[in-house]
Amino acid sequence: MIISVTDNLEGKIEPLSYSDAAKVAALIRQSTQDANRGEYTPFELEKLNAFATPEKIQDEVSSGYLVMLSNDTGDLIGCAMVVRSGKNLVIKTIDVKTNYSRKGYGSLLYNRCEKRLKEVGLNEIEVEIPKFPKSEMFYKKHGFVKTGNPTREDLYFAMFKYL
Ligand SMILES: CC(C)(COP(=O)(O)OP(=O)(O)OC[C@H]1O[C@@H](n2cnc3c(N)ncnc32)[C@H](O)[C@@H]1OP(=O)(O)O)[C@@H](O)C(=O)NCCC(=O)NCCS
């Protein structure tokens, strides 16, 4: 496995190439589509993934943090993205290709984000969770608690963890 990090949390600008941003966008869209068991209509899923375009990802990463995980042949199999939300930093998404799931890769990506967020001085982490049961279970496993129940109209809900 190859880990590559683009870290713009402290001012410098490490550009993310358009082709890498396109791979990240495609992975996010595919993993949420595969996870969907009727929690979202096709229209809602598109709204959930509206941020997953190469241009928007390049823009978010220009002031955020991106971890990309590739297999030995160079295919992107996972990614995690921390972005700015007002003055705060939030984990925007963690995605693992479906045929690589339950092997600990999501946790590896999460742990990299947590470590970095601690380094920049955060004492709590907030995550926007899609309404897939496995996503909630994943963050519960990492010590997060739910802060409210999503309504039918909400695209995602928040979970947080004190560091
Ligand atoms: C959620 C996601 C990132 C997990 O990735 P992963 O590589 O499978 O995660 P891990 O192997 O590190 O799993 C860690 C723990 O999460 C929980 N978990 C993960 N997938 C689960 C599933 N399908 N059912 C139940 N629990 C699950 C388990 O507690 C698991 O530990 P265990 O395997 O020892 O029981 C991945 O399923 C995904 O990309 N989902 C779609 C996108 C998404 O919803 N992302 C998260 C929101 S930001």
Is any atom of ligand 1 closer than 6 Å to the C-beta of 94? yes
Q: Is the CB of 152 under 6 A from ligand 1?
A: no
Mean pLDDT of the residues in the chain? 95
Q: What is the CATH number of domain 2-162?
A: 3.40.630.30
CA–centroid distance, 98 to ligand 1, in Å, is 10
Specify the DSSP element, H or E, that contains 2.
Answer: strand 2-7
Q: What is the pLDDT of residues 134-159, one digit of tens each?
A: 999 999 999 999 987 878 888 999 99
C-alpha of residue 13 to centroid of ligand 1, in Å: 31
Helix pair 105-119, 133-141: axis angle to 10 deg: 50
Give the 3-state secondary structure of residue 90: strand
Distance CA 53, CA 88 (A): 22
Longest dimension (CA), the chain: 42
Tell me the per-residue pLDDT of 22-72, one tens digit each, with 9 for 90 and over.
999 999 999 999 999 999 999 999 999 999 999 999 999 999 999 999 999
